[in-house]
């Protein structure tokens, strides 16, 4: 296991030269814009997030601006980012910030955790990136870098463990470098230490990486299954939700029926959208986004 202080400077130097120029990383990025980016980036690549994030920031530059709109508008402008409950979470978060925190994103990690839809990762990320806090920020990319570089394992466990959190905490540098360290390790995992084809020759810590030095032993945990989409309930829900997003009023049931052949799966998906608060069924049997 490499000494923690040996990893810090190479990673920070690499990030200073190689970091992507992203709008939520600029010095004038607001805490709200950073929070929105972190929610959108969950399980979604940057290239898909950028245009939607830009539209949101132009339309809703503050939590109060989003809170004034009905939740259906957040779903409508979520586009094709997937996992649209995140849009509802952001809308609920905007209302909570407006109502309980005078429209300002809380600076405190513990208070961030009380906001709707904000978990440990997002709270740590916002506290670090928006307010320069000293927190371990553990997303998939960070967990993979630490698994390889420090633990000598190709992949981290499926779910974040207490051992991973202790390791991440032990690697945190002093407060001044901690926020940059957090985003730099994340960027290293996204651009170099990727899941399927790590570019070890371009890695600033390849000479210290426990996994590489051990001969890159293959992963020996439970089978890692790729996500399927075609034909799933998730795809069906996406088709139905697309009809509702494109309409600016209630949609008759037959307009939804035509987008998916399997009636049983279609009804199950539609019931799921209603149960999740992503759609409403009106008394006349038509459907709309939540209002």
Task: Report whether 256 contacts 240 (CB < 8 A).
Answer: yes
Task: Report whether 136 contacts 125 (CB < 8 A).
Answer: no
Tokens encoding 241:
């939700």
Q: Is 3 a catalytic residue?
A: no
Max CA separation in the chain (angstroms): 67
pLDDT band for position 4 (cuts 50, 70, 90): low
Say how far apart CA 227 and CA 78 lie, in whole Å.
21
Say how far apart CA 1 and CA 283 lie, in whole Å.
63
Say how far apart CA 185 and CA 191 lie, in whole Å.
10
Tens-digit pLDDT profile for residues 163-190: 999 999 999 998 889 999 999 999 999 9
- Rg of the chain (C-alpha set): 21
Tens-digit pLDDT profile for residues 101-147: 999 999 999 999 999 999 999 999 999 999 999 999 999 999 999 99
Q: Residue for token digits 């960027």?
A: 187
**Is a pLDDT exceeding 60 seen at residue 1?**
no
Ordered by where they begin, the domains of the chain are 7-131 (1.10.340.30), 140-214 (1.10.1670.10), 233-288 (1.10.10.10)
Q: Which of 3, 38, 69, 153 is catalytic?
A: 38
Tens-digit pLDDT profile for residues 189-226: 999 999 999 999 999 999 999 999 999 999 877 666 66
pLDDT band for position 256 (cuts 50, 70, 90): very high
């Amino acid at each position: 296991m490499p000494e923690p202080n040996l990893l810090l400077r190479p990673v920070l130097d690499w990030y200073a030269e190689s970091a992507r120029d992203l709008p939520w990383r600029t010095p004038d990025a607001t805490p709200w814009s950073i929070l929105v980016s972190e929610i959108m980036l969950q399980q979604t690549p940057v290239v898909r997030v950028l245009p939607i994030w830009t539209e949101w920031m132009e339309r809703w530059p503050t939590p109060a601006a989003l809170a004034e709109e009905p939740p259906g508008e957040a779903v409508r402008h979520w586009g094709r980012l997937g996992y649209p409950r995140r849009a509802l979470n952001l809308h609920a978060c905007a209302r909570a910030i407006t109502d309980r925190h005078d429209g300002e994103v809380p600076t405190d990690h513990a208070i961030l955790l009380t906001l709707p839809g904000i978990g440990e990762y997002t709270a740590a990320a916002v506290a670090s990136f928006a307010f320069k806090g000293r927190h371990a920020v553990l997303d998939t990319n960070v967990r993979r870098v630490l698994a390889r570089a420090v633990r000598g394992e190709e992949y981290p466990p499926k779910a974040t463990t207490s051992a991973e959190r202790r390791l991440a905490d032990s690697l945190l540098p002093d407060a001044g470098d901690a926020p940059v360290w957090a985003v730099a390790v994340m960027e290293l995992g996204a651009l170099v230490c990727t899941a399927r084809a790590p570019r070890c020759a371009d890695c600033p810590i390849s000479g210290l990486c426990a996994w590489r030095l051990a001969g890159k032993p293959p992963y020996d945990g439970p089978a890692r299954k790729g996500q399927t989409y075609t034909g799933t309930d998730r795809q069906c829900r996406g088709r139905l939700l697309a009809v509702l997003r494109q309409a600016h009023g209630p949609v008759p049931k037959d307009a939804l029926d035509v987008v998916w052949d399997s009636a049983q799966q279609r009804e199950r998906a539609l019931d799921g959208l209603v149960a999740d608060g992503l759609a409403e069924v009106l008394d006349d049997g038509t459907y709309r986004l939540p209002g």
